[in-house]
């Protein structure tokens, strides 16, 4: 497995990170990723000695802001490798760094198992045209309707919103990538989502992971109003209640995965990017084109959905239709 890990680290740093000679690299890590860090640092040092490693405490949830000192360091880096248990991708610190021309790789929840997962090498620049076309469909669209055989029926308003194309790699200043996640996402208008969502894939919280029994979410006027009364439904209900902020319940993001080598395993960046899956983000979207500002973001993954944009079928039972994109 050693050679597999080294190959994956090379792919992340050079193919996904697009590292140039002697660029300023900032590694942000915590206790959860100490085993992974040396593989990435070793690859980075082959091309640059201008490298800083900074350890931070493990955050309590995705989207929690780092310290001001860390934020300032981020803005003065060419390439940021955020190797943390909880994602910083939806933070103002990340947005400010990208606006300051930093490239940002979000490697949340990374482990040796992820380095060994085939999804890493599934990040492929040759399919960027598919992501570009899905981005165009969202940008030209006004309404999204999603349904599944399990009972999902959901309407979203995406008019006036712009999609985010996240192919899993960064090529220019300000880019955000989260390999092996390859996705196109958009932030629906916050108070106009209505319907029922049946989550049957995963919930990307350390206490959740793969879903055993589908969880029903009642969405009204853009927010979760009720969770199904099951063991997992009650668990995620308690997780959301612990945030103690009604903004955590806002349906903030719709994402579509494109990585054909990714298979659901309960890990955030693999599950979100898995082809044949879509996901819904709840909480923060103010850094990705929305208006809901909160230091919290959590994604819920769904399998085998039908997705329509302005009555045009773009995804049938999880399969992205060639003629639609």
DSSP letters spanning 94-135: HHHHHHTT-EEEE-TT--HHHHTSTTTTT--GGGHHHHHHHH
Report residue 319's pLDDT band, with 50, 70 and 90 as the boundaries: very high
The reply to whether 58 and 202 lie within a common domain is no
Q: Which of 56, 83, 115 is at the close of a domain?
A: 115
Residue 325 has pLDDT above 80, yes or no: no
The reply to whether 132 and 193 lie within a common domain is yes
pLDDT of res. 323: 62
120 in a structural domain? no
Query: How confident is the model over 132-154, as pLDDT tens digits?
Result: 999 999 999 999 999 999 999 99
Q: Is the pTM of this model over 0.85?
A: yes
* Helix, strand, coil in percent for the chain, rounding step 5: 25, 30, 45
Q: Which has more confidence, 324 or 180? A: 180
- Cα pseudo-dihedral 60, 65, 70, 73, rounded to 10: 140
- Enumerate the H helices of the chain as residue ranges: 2-10, 37-45, 68-75, 92-99, 112-115, 128-140, 231-243, 268-273
Indicate the average pLDDT of the chain.
96
Q: How many domains does the chain have?
A: 2
296 in a structural domain? yes
Contact assessment for residue 81 and residue 27, using Cβ atoms and an 8 Å cutoff: yes
Query: How confident is the model over 174-216, as pLDDT tens digits?
Result: 999 999 999 999 999 999 999 999 999 999 898 999 999 999 9
Which residue range(s) make up the domain with 239?
125-324
Tokens of 155: 């309407």
The reply to whether 246 and 167 lie within a common domain is yes
The reply to whether 158 and 104 lie within a common domain is no
194 in a structural domain? yes
The reply to whether 82 and 156 lie within a common domain is no
250 in a structural domain? yes
């Amino acid at each position: 497995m050693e050679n597999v890990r080294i190959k994956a680290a090379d792919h992340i740093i050079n193919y996904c990170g697009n590292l140039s000679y002697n660029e300023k690299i900032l590694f942000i890590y915590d206790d959860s990723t100490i085993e992974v860090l040396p593989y990435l640092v070793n690859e980075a040092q082959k091309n640059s000695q201008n490298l800083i490693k900074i350890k931070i405490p493990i955050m309590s949830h995705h989207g929690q802001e780092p310290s001001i000192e860390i934020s300032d360091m981020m803005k003065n880096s060419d390439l940021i490798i955020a190797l943390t248990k909880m994602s910083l991708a939806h933070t103002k610190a990340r947005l400010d760094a990208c606006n300051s021309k930093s490239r940002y790789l979000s490697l949340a929840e990374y482990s040796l198992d992820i380095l060994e997962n085939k999804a890493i090498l599934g990040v492929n620049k040759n399919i960027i045209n598919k992501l570009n076309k899905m981005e165009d469909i969202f940008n030209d669209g006004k309404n999204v309707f999603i349904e599944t055989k399990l009972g999902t029926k959901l309407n979203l308003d995406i008019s006036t919103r712009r999609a985010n194309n996240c192919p899993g790699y960064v090529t220019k200043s300000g880019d955000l990538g989260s390999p092996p996640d390859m996705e196109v996402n958009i932030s629906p208008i916050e108070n106009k989502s209505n319907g029922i969502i049946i989550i049957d894939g995963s919930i990307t919280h350390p206490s959740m992971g793969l879903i055993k029994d589908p969880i029903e979410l009642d969405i009204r006027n853009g927010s979760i109003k009720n969770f199904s009364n099951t063991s997992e439904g009650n668990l995620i209900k308690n997780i959301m209640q612990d945030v103690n902020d009604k903004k955590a319940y806002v349906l903030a993001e719709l994402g579509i995965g494109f990585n054909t080598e990714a298979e659901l395993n309960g890990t955030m960046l693999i599950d979100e990017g898995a082809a044949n899956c879509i996901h819904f983000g709840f909480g923060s979207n103010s850094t990705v084109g929305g208006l809901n500002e909160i230091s919290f973001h959590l994604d819920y993954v769904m399998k085998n959905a039908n997705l329509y944009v302005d009555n045009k079928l773009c995804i049938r039972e999880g399969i992205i239709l060639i003629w639609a994109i």
